[in-house]
Structure 1
Amino acid sequence: MSLKQILVQAGVDEGAGRRAAIAADLASRFDADLAGVFLSPAAPSVYLGASAEVAPPASVMKDLTEAHNRTVLANAKAAKATLEGAASGKAIAWRELDGGAPNELIEAARGADLLIMPGPPENTREGVFAPADTVALNAGGPVIAVPDTSNATRVGRNILVAWNGSRESARALRDALPLLSKADQVSAVIVDHPAAARDAEQTLQAFLQRHGCRSVNVQRLPEGGRPASEVILQHAAHVAQADLIVMGLYGHSRIREFILGGVSREMLDDSPIPLLLSH
């Protein structure tokens, strides 16, 4: 099992250079094709639906639209240049898609082995609506969400697996196997959870070792009255020193987690470490 094409969401936001570096590094390690996608924001719609008395003259709207299109073209060119710079001469495939809805990015992700994209809050800026959880829920494959707070320029050397025995965590584990098998260090944590069997440590360790993972360390951690996300993130940063966290997405209803909170929502909102998401 390997990665043959890595797709990265390019852009001109602050994290675009880091995402490009991560994608280029993984493409080099796996000898994979590198592809970039730029999401074009929709034209400003502040006047849509306005009455004839309120809407500006057609000439003004034309000027606004043309200025918007020039900006989009300039940003797409800059985004492509950033990715080409990170690729260091490696040929890249390039696509520009409508960023007004997540559907086109989801479809692009389905044709790649791995998508690297912004995590919150960058993925909802500038009129581009493609949240990482929405894409991961529908792409049918792994998504690495790089948080705005992350300084990472490479991932996958030291990986932490967040395991709770659910279908989602099993899917994420399998989707991450190409990265896990090449990692220098693989850690896994089981925060006390009803679905995690008593022998989960031994089962998970054996599974990872069968797939060629080196230096595997599996631990069960007590919640101690803290949210599971806090336990995972503290362990990832201060004990495992992980550069990537592998986790299943939304074991509960997404709406329930959005309203009541949950591990997935908290990890997406709070993790400074890139997340490999799968559902």
Structure 2
Amino acid sequence: MPNDILVHLPVDRPADSVIDCAISVAQLFEAHLDGIACAYQPINPAIVVGASAAYFADATQYNTDLDLAAQRLDQFQLAVRNSGLSHGGRTICDSPALANQTLSEISRLYDLSIVAQADRSRRSHHDALPEAVLFNSGQPMLLIPYIHTGPLKLDRVLICWDGSRPAARAVRDAMPFLHKAGQIEIVAINEDEDVPEDLLADALIAHLARHDLAASANKFACEPHNIHSAILSAAADTSADLLVMGGYGHSRIREFILGGVTRGMFKSLTVPALMSH
């Protein structure tokens, strides 16, 4: 059960949907809710050389300041104060890489982090935060689409299942949400090819039943490069309110590169997604 929740507040774009979702989730579990807003500051130009100079010149336009971060935190605190929830808030200020590292580390002592999806039409240093939190916090992350409005609903929850360790971790982390769900559906893609016999969707249905949770499965095949689109189509067809899925990455010398399905979801997400790594 999530007893304390952290919401990362985007500073350079509207945060209403993230705040509304965070408050609704905290109310659902009677949890403490903290908000954090980050001011991204310039990189020291003295250390920028060669090919990095072009990136530096482009990236400076996405910097934010502490006044903007304070304003976003004030917005959050006013909204959560009216909800009656136990809450707190803070701002931090650092260069983009160090700030996102710090934010992901802060997330380690919360049961759940809530983060806004990147809006590809409005580039920001905040865009790298979901990946940092997913891979570095060690905790589940609720990713809120930038097109989402209003509180989180749990009438229909869709579990993305492939029998993998991240998928199993996501199901475990999602248990409090699943017990609040009206309906649970499992989507299993290319199951005959990719999933061991003992980890098929039917085995997950039996596992959930032992937790007093009823679920059904939707099994189909599609091209590997199109899996994220197939998941989002299934979410639309079932009017899903929440996706539950593992976040996949490939390790490369202490950093993670997003796997194809996760990368596609980060770009195209249309439904809030509870993700675990």
Shorter-chain TM-score tier = 0.7 to 0.9
- Per the alignment, residue 84 of structure 1 pairs with 77
2:93 alignment partner, one of 98, 122, 144: 98
CA drift of 1:158 comes to 2.1
Unaligned runs of 5+ in 1: 51-68
Provide closer, same or farther for how the CA distance between residues 157 and 96 of structure 1 changes in structure 2, counting only shifts above 3 A. farther
Please identify runs of 4+ aligned residues in structure 1 that moved more than 3 A: 11-15, 44-50, 124-130, 251-258
1:158 alignment partner, one of 150, 156, 159: 156
Question: Larger Rg: 1 or 2?
Answer: 1
Provide closer, same or farther for how the CA distance between residues 98 and 82 of structure 1 changes in structure 2, counting only shifts above 3 A. same
CA drift of 1:78 comes to 1.9
**Which moves more between the two structures, 262-271 or 75-84?**
75-84
The answer to whether the Cα contact below 8 Å between 1:98 and 1:104 also exists between their aligned partners in 2 is no
CA drift of 1:126 comes to 4.3
The answer to whether the Cα contact below 8 Å between 1:163 and 1:247 also exists between their aligned partners in 2 is yes
Instruction: Give the TM-score of the pair, scaled to structure 1.
Output: 0.80
CA drift of 1:4 comes to 0.2
CA drift of 1:153 comes to 3.0
> Is 1:131 equivalent to 2:129 in the alignment?
yes
Q: Deviations over 1:77-110 (max 9, x none)?
A: 3212221233224341112123523221111110
> Is 1:233 equivalent to 2:228 in the alignment?
no
Q: Structure 1 CA distance, aligned partners of 2:132 and 2:47?
A: 28
The answer to whether the Cα contact below 8 Å between 1:11 and 1:75 also exists between their aligned partners in 2 is no
Q: Structure 2 CA distance, aligned partners of 1:201 and 1:127?
A: 38
Alignment of 1:1-279 (within 5 A): 2-42=1-41, 44-45=42-43, 47-48=45-46, 72-87=65-80, 88=82, 89-99=84-94, 100=96, 101=98, 102-121=100-119, 125-128=123-126, 130-193=128-191, 194-198=193-197, 200-213=200-213, 215-223=214-222, 227-238=226-237, 240-250=238-248, 252=250, 262-279=260-277
**Which moves more between the two structures, 165-174 or 215-224?**
215-224
Q: Structure 1 CA distance, aligned partners of 2:225 and 2:102?
A: 39
How many matched pairs? 255
CA drift of 1:252 comes to 5.0
Unaligned runs of 5+ in 2: 49-62
Could you say what secondary structure the match of 2:65 adopts? helix
Over the matched positions of the two proteins, sequence identity in percent amounts to 32
Provide closer, same or farther for how the CA distance between residues 256 and 6 of structure 1 changes in structure 2, counting only shifts above 3 A. closer
Q: Structure 1 CA distance, aligned partners of 2:236 and 2:166?
A: 23
CA drift of 1:155 comes to 4.0
Q: Structure 1 CA distance, aligned partners of 2:155 and 2:250?
A: 30
